[in-house]
Amino acid sequence: MAAKLVECVPNFSEGRRLDVVEKIVAAVRETSDVILLDYSSDADHNRSVLTFVGTPEGVEQAAYAAISRAAELIDMEQQEGEHPRIGATDVVPFIPISGVSMQDCVEIARRLGQRVGEELNIPVYLYEQAATRPDRENLANLRKGEYEGLKAEIETNPDRQPDFGPNQMGKAGATVIGARAFLVAYNVYLNTDDVAVAKAVGKSIRHSSGGLRYVKGLGLLVDGQAQVSMNLTNFKGTPIHQAVEMIRREAARYGASITHSELIGLVPQQALIDAAVWYLQLDDFSQDQILEHKMQAEMAAGQNVAADGAGFLADLAAGTPTPGGGSAAAYAGAMAAALVAMVARVTAGKKKYADVENEMLSAAEQADQLKTALYEAVARDAASFEGVMAAFRLSKDTEDQVLTRGQAIQQATLHAAEVPLEVAERAATVLNLARFVAEHGNINAVSDAGAAAALARSSLSGAAMNVRINLSGLEDDKQIARFQSRLETLEQQAAGSLAAIRTAVENRGGITGMDL
């Protein structure tokens, strides 16, 4: 079966104190088997959104750690912002990515809810697919009255009794936890400061008020401008462009128009392609007409690699500090991911492997994403080292300059350690995928799966060396310990994956004497 991956997109009621947000983010980064993909903060909403993926166990633990950290740092008695909220950690959805079902995510949500309620003494409500009753499926119902309204009713109103935890609100408020499909968070701004217009438009587009299916919308005033804030719970059922055009028409009724829009967090590429095709009226459009899409497809098929590789090798061999070992490690990881995608694709579509076709297609998609991220890390690693060198070149003629220079060196060195750590994490994920395709993929490509494993191992090892060399320049013992602990965990996981791949290649391919 495919590697088990779950996505979590928790929302926290803090978007102004960025030092607090960073501490919550750190709780996720410190958790094993999890990769932080994105986080963003909005001061007007006073809200931050994190996106991370990983194993079901890792994601569950990371979510708990983040909720616990937020409960320590955010006081809901002092919190205020434009976005509706009921707690320090306002909502925690789990989304199945691969190798797991929606029911698996429901079980994660319920386990986490019980733990948060019992160990952190926070009231927890289950929503969407994890809801215990129909009226709690919709998040808006649970947020009715926000923190202040819930605090006033939770002790006396039976309908507001939480699923887990006490019937009493502390400074961390309450938390909503659940399981759902992928959601697109999208905001549209209007050329008016009249929030009543935004509220009217928000009401007209949201499904609960008779608007578009799969759309949740409300009107807000953000930085003096009317905003229609939306969650699209099924971007295929109601695409982004359809929602935007309805907002455009409804706003025109009040003499308003759209000035700009924004995405919160991540969005599937397909959602943007669908919008572009619709607006450009490309009736006979094929995704193969997208340059990057075509290039990736060709590279996955093993074409055009030589020319790109020759350019990178020439840069690597040049007498310059960058690119160096960290970039080479990232490039090796990208090649490993490309090989995994190839093995998965030569397996899918074969009758002999029909029982794993869906898992293979999912593995290929994951490997493509990892390949892109690792390839981008080639340049990012070089840039991070150049940042360190730039910090060392800062003036040190006065005490203030010495202090500023020292802080800049520490910050740049920390970033120079973070980039190869991300490479190591992704290389470990590639190894997990390599194990799957080695054990279940086309037997004629089992040696390719082994080659992918060897490259991923080299990627992880090279990246780990670059992390450790940068740690020698850090002064923060806690940061050093965090990096070292994470590397040790990744290396232990890699050892298990490599052993399983060696066995699969030997048993299925008859290849012995491998040094994996």
Cite the active site residues. 83, 381
What are 349's two structure tokens? 């579509």
Strands (E), 88-238: 89-98, 124-128, 175-179, 184-190, 215-222, 225-232
Q: Indicate the helix (H) or strand (E) that contains 162.
A: none
Query: For residue 126, which phi and psi values (nearest 5 degrees)?
Result: -95, 140
Q: How far is CA 427 from the centre of its chain?
A: 16
- CA distances 338 to 258, 300, 363, Å, are 41, 6, 11
SS3 265: coil
Query: Number of helices (H) and strands (E), helices first, in the chain?
Result: 15, 11
Query: For residue 42, which phi and psi values (nearest 5 degrees)?
Result: -130, 120
- CA distances 471 to 282, 374, 404, 418, Å, are 51, 21, 20, 10
* Contacts (Cβ under 8 Å, ≥6 apart) of 466: 325, 326, 329, 381, 416, 417, 420
The position carrying tokens 């789990």 is 94
- CA distances 30 to 35, 128, 229, 484, Å, are 10, 28, 32, 11
Of the candidates 52, 54, 60, 46, the residue with the CA atom closest to the CA atom of residue 12:
46
Amino acid, single-letter form, for residue 435: R
SS3 32: coil
Of the candidates 452, 230, 473, the residue with the CA atom closest to the CA atom of residue 333:
452
* Contacts (Cβ under 8 Å, ≥6 apart) of 409: 388, 391, 392, 473
What are 173's two structure tokens? 């408020």
User: What is the C-alpha separation between 337 and 410, in angstroms, rounded?
Assistant: 32
Say if residues 190 and 226 touch (Cβ distance below 8 Å): yes
Say if residues 300 and 338 touch (Cβ distance below 8 Å): yes
Interior CA angle at 246 toward 240 and 248, to 5°?
100
